[in-house]
């Protein structure tokens, strides 16, 4: 089933009273949280611990933004993460966008933001734990981001090149979890780990360097994130 992203356009409304609704405030707070996380990652420079913490905050804020968009529009929303190791490899497992199901075409998803990169050196561990060429010598993962669906659909947004597959964390209008991609999520974890970029043309384009220095969060059935700050916190 073909689906595509397009920039989200909200209808023009007539005169309204001054002030913001609670949902609109949540959207603004979510955007501020994302920007603070990105700025912290930039200012953190080579501090990997700060970069990991920044990535954790950014993803959590993106999830909050998706929940707010779902409540605001009354439609499913999701955090989508690039999962294509060959097409624009710099985006692989670190480029994230918030999307909302189109109001008239349920197979199409609209882009809410322009997308955010996680700090350099920090990547999302995919639902299937990395093996082989994706690992530095001696590294072995026992946890992974089971909270994401895997969606093989190629979509086009903000460029003329279709991108896919995607990892997607879906939220319905009531704030609960919802399946977006073709392969349903089987757990609740979102895991972040350090990895080293490989020479251009290498597949996969990164090698994870540690399965112990990890962070992330677990997601409740209501779409609420609870931070996890070390490997022992994941189940």
- Can you give the three-state secondary structure of the chain, one letter per residue? CCCCEEECCCCCCCCCCCCCCHHHHHHHHHHHHHHHHHHHHHHCCCCHHHHHHHHHHHHHHHHHHHHHHHHHHCCCEEEEEECCCCCCHHHCCCEEEEEEECCCCCCCEEECCCCEECCCCEEECCCCCCCHHHECCCCCCCCCCCCCEEECCCECCCCCCCECCEEEEEECCCCCEECCCCECCCCCEEEEEEEEECCCCCCCCEEECCCCCEEEEEECCCCCEEEECCHHHCC
Give the model confidence (pLDDT) of 39-69 as tens digits.
544 444 457 889 999 999 999 999 999 999 9
pLDDT at 2 over 60: no
Give the model confidence (pLDDT) of 136-185 as tens digits.
999 999 999 999 999 988 877 666 677 889 999 999 999 899 888 888 88
Please give the model's pTM, rounded to 2 decimal places. 0.80
Overall number of domains in the chain: 1
CATH number of the domain where residue 123 is located = 3.55.40.10
Give me the domain span that covers residue 171. 5-233
């Amino acid at each position: 089933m073909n689906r595509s992203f397009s920039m989200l356009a909200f209808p023009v409304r007539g005169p309204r009273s001054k002030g913001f609704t609670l949902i609109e405030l949540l959207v603004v707070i979510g955007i501020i949280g994302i920007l603070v996380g990105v700025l912290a990652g930039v200012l953190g420079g080579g501090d990997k611990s700060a970069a990991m913490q920044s990535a954790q905050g950014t993803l959590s804020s993106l999830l909050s933004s998706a929940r707010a968009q779902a409540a605001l529009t009354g439609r499913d929303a999701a955090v989508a993460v690039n999962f294509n190791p060959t097409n624009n490899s710099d985006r692989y497992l670190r480029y994230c966008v918030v999307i909302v199901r189109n109001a008239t075409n349920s197979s199409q998803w609209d882009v809410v933001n322009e997308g955010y990169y996680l700090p350099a050196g920090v990547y999302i561990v995919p639902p299937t734990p990395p093996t082989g060429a994706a690992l530095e010598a001696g590294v072995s993962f026992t946890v992974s981001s089971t909270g994401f669906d895997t969606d093989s659909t190629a979509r086009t947004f903000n460029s003329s090149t279709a991108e896919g597959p995607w990892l997607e964390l879906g939220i319905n209008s009531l704030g609960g979890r919802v399946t977006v991609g073709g392969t349903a999520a089987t757990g609740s974890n979102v895991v972040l780990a350090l990895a080293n970029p490989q020479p251009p043309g290498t597949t996969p384009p990164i090698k994870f360097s540690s399965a112990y220095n990890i962070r992330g969060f677990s997601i409740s059935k209501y779409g609420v994130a609870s931070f996890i700050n070390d490997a022992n916190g994941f189940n």
